[in-house]
Amino acid sequence: MQLYSFFNSSTSYRVRIALAIKGLAYDYQGVNIRIGDQLTEEHIARNPSKGVPVLILDDGQRLTQSMAILDYLERTYPTPALLPDDPQLRTRVLEVANVIACDMHAINNLRSLGYLKNVLDISDKDKKVWYQHWVNQGLTAVETLLERHGVGPFCFGDQPTLADCCLVPQVANSIRFGCSMSGFPNVMAVYKHCQQQAAFQEAEPQRQPDFIE
Ligand SMILES: N[C@@H](CCC(=O)N[C@@H](CS)C(=O)NCC(=O)O)C(=O)O
């Protein structure tokens, strides 16, 4: 398999964590989304949504959309499982994953922030206010879900799930953008626990071949 990824893309990071947890080998292909490599014809042929990640299977099939890729990995390589069998617990895991993947990521993505700045002429200061507002809203929901249903030390017990795969990259990016994490003790406890695990470490931005300071 080949993974088209950018080192600090949170959607790529989700997939890297799942690949590492499942022990799957892949060739890493860096796509520098800071300089527009995702907008080349070659990359759009891989992913019409003009972004990363893209997982290329050994038969050449191109899989896009991180949550769809995670679903493929879960179906194809079910052990270790990242989604519990129990329907209620499975929904709890997906609730947290979806707050991050649906409610938070899209509005704070590079292209959304770029549109605010370059088309709507929003200042860097206001762009940061926007970013931090949506992080605060989203992580407040995640914190509440963990408070109500979380078990620890991962989001939902002693094994990582898709919730952890989504939480860690989101927290890493939020810290990078200077968001205060003080109101999210459950989120931060899970984050710190995950950071100590080998699979999560393997997927960290600074360990990727395309990492740049
Ligand atoms: N919903 C998509 C989002 C993919 C996405 O937007 N990825 C970001 C990086 S985290 C990207 O490539 N952004 C490029 C851009 O905004 O131009 C997914 O989950 O895969």
**Domain chopping of the chain, boundaries:** 2-80, 87-199
The CA distances from residue 155 to 13, 17, 66, 86, 194, in Å, are 17, 15, 19, 15, 10
Strands 27-30 and 2-5 come out as: parallel
- Does domain 87-199 fall under CATH 1.20.1050.10? My reply is yes
Superfamily (CATH) of domain 2-80: Glutaredoxin (3.40.30.10)
Q: How far apart are CA 113 and CA 125, in angstroms?
A: 12
Cβ count within 10 A of residue 75: 9
Q: Ligand 1 in contact with 151 (CB < 6 A)?
A: no
Q: How far apart are CA 69 and CA 57, in angstroms?
A: 11
Sign of CA dihedral 191, 192, 195, 200: negative
Mean pLDDT by 10 residues, the chain (213 residues): 98 98 98 97 97 98 98 98 97 98 96 96 96 97 97 96 98 96 98 98 98 93
The answer to whether the peptide bond before residue 153 is cis (omega within 30 degrees of 0) is yes
What pLDDT, on the 0 to 100 scale, is given for residue 213? 87
Instruction: Give the distance (Å) from ligand 1 centre to CA of residue 178.
Output: 21
What pLDDT, on the 0 to 100 scale, is given for residue 128? 95
Q: Ligand 1 in contact with 144 (CB < 6 A)?
A: no
Q: Ligand 1 in contact with 10 (CB < 6 A)?
A: yes
What pLDDT, on the 0 to 100 scale, is given for residue 102? 97
Q: How far apart are CA 74 and CA 82, in angstroms?
A: 7
Out of 5, 9, 71, 119, mutate this one to test ligand 1's pocket (max ligand atoms within 8 Å of CB): namely 9
CA-nearest residue, atom 10 of ligand 1: 9
> Could you tell me if 25 and 72 are in contact, meaning their C-beta atoms sit under 8 angstroms apart?
no
Cβ count within 10 A of residue 134: 18
Instruction: Give the distance (Å) from ligand 1 centre to CA of residue 144.
Output: 26
Q: Ligand 1 in contact with 110 (CB < 6 A)?
A: yes
What pLDDT, on the 0 to 100 scale, is given for residue 76? 98
